[in-house]
């Protein structure tokens, strides 16, 4: 008799991304599929990571003692309310472990970050997904979805894979309607890319409430996706819970060194922000001129609608892959006709624009 899984919810876990056909296809040389920073990490971060390799045979004891003071100083936050993890995904998973279980619910916008339901399923909790407004979370729908079983309200702001966002007033409206027994989790992985004037940084509400937590990452604008470092800001009791669920030695020494150095290179972050904004604006305009709908984005990617089954998202992805360009499709019915393109260097943006134009012309 086979050993049975301890948690039935594991059976409900599904892939959240689709991998295109790669057999007989040359490896992609233009990687616009995983929302990494095409502009790379700071040279200071690379240098620091290499230097840290000299002690790679040793564990880094109590990573929070090293990294949290640097985070608190750089972002001007209370160090007692910060903890760290292996990217924001690790922290989201730990929040689910700490606050979800049988008979509880995670409330989310139906087409928000597609990995999050899996964290609830892994803890035998239910997922309540409410309708959005053209991929923008609907505050009214989220409020209507609240029940006495709600323990986590998840909001990616900005969203992935759509790139939409909620302004500060909308987030505060949602929070005001929540019971104190529910935790509002703000996933702000893309916050550094936002240019919308009504956006409110996630930490502001955290500092005003006892049931709000924010997750951030160094995988995006800092160009350290491979380092796997994220951080969380929240009430001290939540930080204590998340910290208790951490691995013994959760982050590699070179990763910590890279992150600390990356925060010092503010010029690199500003340059990346500017290049991303320029590229996002240019690609949105170019694809719109090709007759495609582009969901307005506040991130380092755009979501693009392929309007005709004859020129499908799947076919477009395959055509681009044949030309060495990797983009992303998502494993959810609402995204069946959409492709997601990460913003890259100007030359790469021209390549992907031209490849899509050829695809459309060839299937007209």
Specify the pLDDT at position 17: 67
Residue 140 is inside which H or E element, if any?
A: helix 139-144
Residue pair 199/167 in contact (Cβ under 8 Å)? The answer is yes
φ, ψ dihedrals at 299, nearest 5°: -130, -160
Cα 276 to Cα 274: distance, rounded to the nearest angstrom:
5
Specify the pLDDT at position 18: 67
pLDDT higher than threshold 70 for residue 140: yes
Strand extents, DSSP E, the chain: 17-18, 30-31, 82-85, 105-109, 126-130, 150-156, 183-187, 212-217, 230-233, 293-295, 301-305, 325-326, 329-330, 338-342
Cα 190 to Cα 226: distance, rounded to the nearest angstrom:
16
**Could you tell me which residue, 331 or 343, shows the higher pLDDT?**
343
Among the residue ranges 13-22, 164-173, 267-276, 303-312, the one predicted with the least confidence is 13-22
Cα 30 to Cα 348: distance, rounded to the nearest angstrom:
7
pLDDT higher than threshold 70 for residue 21: no
What tokens appear for 178 in the block?
């929540």
At residue 231's C-alpha, the angle toward residues 51 and 297, to 5°, is 105
CB-based contacts of 76, cutoff 8 Å, min separation 6: none
pLDDT higher than threshold 90 for residue 23: no
Cβ atoms < 10 Å from Cβ of 314:
16
Cα 301 to Cα 33: distance, rounded to the nearest angstrom:
9
Mean pLDDT across 345-350: 97
């Amino acid at each position: 008799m086979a050993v049975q899984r301890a948690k039935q919810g594991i059976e409900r876990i599904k892939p959240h991304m689709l991998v295109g056909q790669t057999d007989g296809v040359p490896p992609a040389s233009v990687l616009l599929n995983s929302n990494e920073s095409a502009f790379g990490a700071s040279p200071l971060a690379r240098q620091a990571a290499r230097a840290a390799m000299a002690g790679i045979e040793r564990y880094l004891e109590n990573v929070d003692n090293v990294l949290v003071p640097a985070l608190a100083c750089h972002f001007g936050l209370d160090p007692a309310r910060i903890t760290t993890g292996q990217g924001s995904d690790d922290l989201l998973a730990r929040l689910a472990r700490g606050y979800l279980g049988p008979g509880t619910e995670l409330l989310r916008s139906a087409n928000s970050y597609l990995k999050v339901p899996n964290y609830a399923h892994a803890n035998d909790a239910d997922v309540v997904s409410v309708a959005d407004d053209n991929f923008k979370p609907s505050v009214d729908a989220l409020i209507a979805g609240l029940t006495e079983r709600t323990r986590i309200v998840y909001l990616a702001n900005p969203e992935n894979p759509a790139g939409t966002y909620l302004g500060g007033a909308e987030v505060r409206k949602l929070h005001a309607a929540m019971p104190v027994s529910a935790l509002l989790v703000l996933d702000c992985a893309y916050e550094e890319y936002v240019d919308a004037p009504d956006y409110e940084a996630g930490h502001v509400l955290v500092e005003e409430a006892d049931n709000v937590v924010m997750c951030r990452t160094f995988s995006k604008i800092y160009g350290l996706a491979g380092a796997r470092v994220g951080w969380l800001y929240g009430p001290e009791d939540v930080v204590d819970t998340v910290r208790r669920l951490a691995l013994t030695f959760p982050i590699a020494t070179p990763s910590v060194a890279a992150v600390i150095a990356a925060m010092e290179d503010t010029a690199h972050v500003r340059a990346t922000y500017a290049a991303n904004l320029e590229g996002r604006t240019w690609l949105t305009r170019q694809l719109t001129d090709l007759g495609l709908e582009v969901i307005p984005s506040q991130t380092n990617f755009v979501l693009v609608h392929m309007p005709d089954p004859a020129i499908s998202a799947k076919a477009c992805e395959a055509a681009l892959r044949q030309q060495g360009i990797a983009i992303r499709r998502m494993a959810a019915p609402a995204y069946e006709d959409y492709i997601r393109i990460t913003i890259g260097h100007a030359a790469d943006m021209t390549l992907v624009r031209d490849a899509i134009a050829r695809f459309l012309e060839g299937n007209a």
